[in-house]
């Protein structure tokens, strides 16, 4: 009797494990599908891509996951507030001079201050940040790399 109980318990554990693995597998496929659906035919993505290429690629890697002459940007909107990003993109030097703690930390890490882009509108910056995050989230085979 004891052996049968152990077999039943082991079977239930294996069944539960298989169900959890299948659940995680389908959940990851669902997330992957949602990311791919964003795609590169998205108008905001395309606008951000063009602006990023024109204004940012001389210092930032377009794949968002490697350091170029400036830090990788993937995930930046998750760690910085939008107003801070607007201000820093438009005039990092002024923020540094005014004692912004993040700007100072960036400079302390031997990164140069970012080129100022005062002419970029909020709409332009939103498109750039959207492109940065969506390109960062895309599966490797879908990322914009050039």
- DSSP 8-state assignment for residue 111: P
Q: Which residue from 115, 116, 118, 141 is spatially nearest to 39, judged by alpha carbons?
A: 141
Instruction: Please state the φ and ψ torsions of residue 57, each to the nearest 5 degrees.
Output: -70, -10
pLDDT of res. 91: 96
Tell me how far apart the alpha carbons of residues 126 and 47 are, in angstroms, rounded to a whole number: 10
- Let me know the angle formed at the C-alpha of 27 by 21 and 31, rounded to the nearest 5 degrees: 145
Count Cα atoms within 13 angstroms, Cβ side, for 42.
18
Tokens 């989230």: give the residue: 137
Tell me how far apart the alpha carbons of residues 26 and 38 are, in angstroms, rounded to a whole number: 19
Tens of pLDDT along the chain (146 residues)? 666 666 666 555 555 554 555 555 555 444 443 333 444 458 999 999 999 999 998 999 888 888 888 888 999 999 999 999 999 999 999 999 999 999 999 888 888 889 999 999 999 999 999 999 998 888 777 777 76
Instruction: Please state the φ and ψ torsions of residue 26, each to the nearest 5 degrees.
Output: -70, -30
pLDDT of res. 32: 41
Residue 4 structure tokens: 């049968």
Tell me if 125 sits within 8 A of 133, measured CB to CB: no
Work out the number of other CB atoms within 10 angstroms of the CB of residue 40. 14
């Amino acid at each position: 009797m004891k052996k049968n109980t152990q077999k039943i318990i082991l079977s239930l554990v294996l069944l539960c494990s298989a169900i959890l693995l299948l659940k995680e597998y389908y959940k990851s496929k669902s997330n992957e599908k949602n990311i791919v659906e964003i795609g590169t035919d998205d108008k905001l993505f395309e606008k951000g891509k063009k602006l990023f290429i024109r204004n940012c690629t001389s210092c930032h890697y377009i794949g968002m996951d490697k350091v170029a002459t400036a830090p990788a940007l993937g995930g930046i909107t998750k760690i910085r507030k939008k107003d801070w990003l607007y201000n820093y993109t438009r005039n990092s030097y002024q923020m540094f001079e005014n004692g912004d703690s993040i700007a100072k930390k960036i400079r302390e890490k031997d990164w140069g201050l970012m080129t100022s882009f005062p002419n970029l509108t909020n709409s332009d910056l939103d498109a750039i940040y959207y492109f940065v995050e969506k390109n960062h989230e895309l599966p490797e085979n879908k990322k914009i790399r050039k």
